[in-house]
Amino acid sequence: EPEVTQTPSHQVTQMGQEVILRCVPISNHLYFYWYRQILGQKVEFLVSFYNNEISEKSEIFDDQFSVERPDGSNFTLKIRSTKLEDSAMYFCASSPETTEQYFGPGTRLTVT
Amino acid sequence: AQSVTQLGSHVSVSEGALVLLRCNYSSSVPPYLFWYVQYPNQGLQLLLKYTTGATLVKGINGFEAEFKKSETSFHLTKPSAHMSDAAEYFCAVTLNTGGFKTIFGAGTRLFVKA
């Protein structure tokens, strides 16, 4: 059964460094998403992406964040200059249309 | 503003008892409604969804939920809890507001006692 994959599973970085989190969505899906979950808190929407552009983003998704689909398979989230409060689990998701989303296992980002 | 409220951050039931996890939403547009389950250190797994049509939807592992528009609710139930049901459950709403955005509730941790 096809699934969304994410790499790395755990990323440790120093404050101020740039990180790129990678996702491989399910191959025939058209919509892509990033969410984050700070430890012990709820899952928060960051951004949705369709047809090579952002279709919706939250207040969290500021200028420090960017997304890209560099080729036909990967979908990346870049944080330009990480802050301590960026430490969280980041989930990628994809969907064939606009309803059911399939989530990846997540990347745990730790900023020190 | 759109929001999702899950009543009770923790719910404890005995094995074999009814499970009821409550979810209410606020939305200015017709919502798509979901329940997800998250086991420790894992991602989110879809339990069930409501998009259109029948308001009582059945999902995996014996769970079901009923969309009640008049009450803006989408409560999750299971007639008989199993130990394996112990997990965190998230209610979510996907909205088409020009783009697509999913809002999650704060989650309810379900404990199942032997």
Q: What is the pLDDT of residues B10-33, one digit of tens each?
A: 999 999 999 999 999 998 877 899
Q: Which residue has the higher pLDDT, B12 or A97?
A: B12
Question: Which residues between 29 and 88 in chain B have a beta carbon less than 8 angstroms from any beta carbon of chain A?
Answer: 32, 34, 36, 42-46, 49, 51
- pLDDT of A40 reads 84
Closest by CA position to B79, among listed B62, B55, B91? B62
Q: Which DSSP string do the residues of A9-71 spell out, in sequence order?
A: SEEEE-TT--EEEEEE--TT--EEEEEEE-TTS-EEEEEEEETTEEEEE-TT--TTEEEE--S
| Confidence band, pLDDT 50/70/90 cuts, at residue A67 | very high
Phi/psi of residue B34, each to 5°? -140, 155
Q: What is the rounded average pLDDT of the residues A90-104? A: 86
B98–A55: do the CB atoms touch at under 8 Å? Answer: yes
Q: With a cut of 90, say whether residue A2 has pLDDT above it.
A: no
Q: What is the rounded average pLDDT of the residues B95-109? A: 83
- pLDDT of A60 reads 94
- pLDDT of A66 reads 97
Question: Which residues between 73 and 112 in chain A have a beta carbon less than 8 angstroms from any beta carbon of chain B?
Answer: 91, 98-106
| Digit-coded pLDDT (tens) for A98-107 | 677 889 999 9
Q: With a cut of 80, say whether residue B1 has pLDDT above it.
A: no
- pLDDT of A7 reads 95
Note whether B6 and B73 are within 8 A (CB).
Answer: no
The tokens for B68 are 């009640």
B106–A33: do the CB atoms touch at under 8 Å? Answer: no
To the nearest whole Å, the CA of A30 is away from the closest chain B CA by 12
Task: Report the run of H or E that residue B46 belongs to, with start and end.
Answer: strand B44-50
Instruction: State how beta strands A53-57 and A5-7 pair.
Output: unpaired
| Digit-coded pLDDT (tens) for B45-93 | 999 999 888 899 999 999 999 999 999 999 999 999 999 999 999 999 9
- Interface probe for A, chosen from B2, B49, B96, B101 (most Cβ of A below 10 Å), is B101
| Confidence band, pLDDT 50/70/90 cuts, at residue B99 | low
Q: With a cut of 80, say whether residue A5 has pLDDT above it.
A: yes
| C-alpha–C-alpha distance, residues B5 and B11, integer Å | 15
Note whether B42 and A37 are within 8 A (CB).
Answer: no
- pLDDT of A46 reads 95
- pLDDT of A99 reads 73
Tell me what the pLDDT averaged over chain A comes to.
Answer: 92
Q: What's the distance, CA A68 to chain centroid?
A: 10
A58–B101: do the CB atoms touch at under 8 Å? Answer: yes
**Residue in chain A lying closest to B108 (CA):** A42
Note whether B109 and B88 are within 8 A (CB).
Answer: yes
- pLDDT of A89 reads 95
- pLDDT of A85 reads 96
B100–A56: do the CB atoms touch at under 8 Å? Answer: yes
Q: Which residue has the higher pLDDT, B42 or A67?
A: A67
Q: With a cut of 80, say whether residue B100 has pLDDT above it.
A: no
| Digit-coded pLDDT (tens) for A39-61 | 888 899 999 999 889 988 999 99
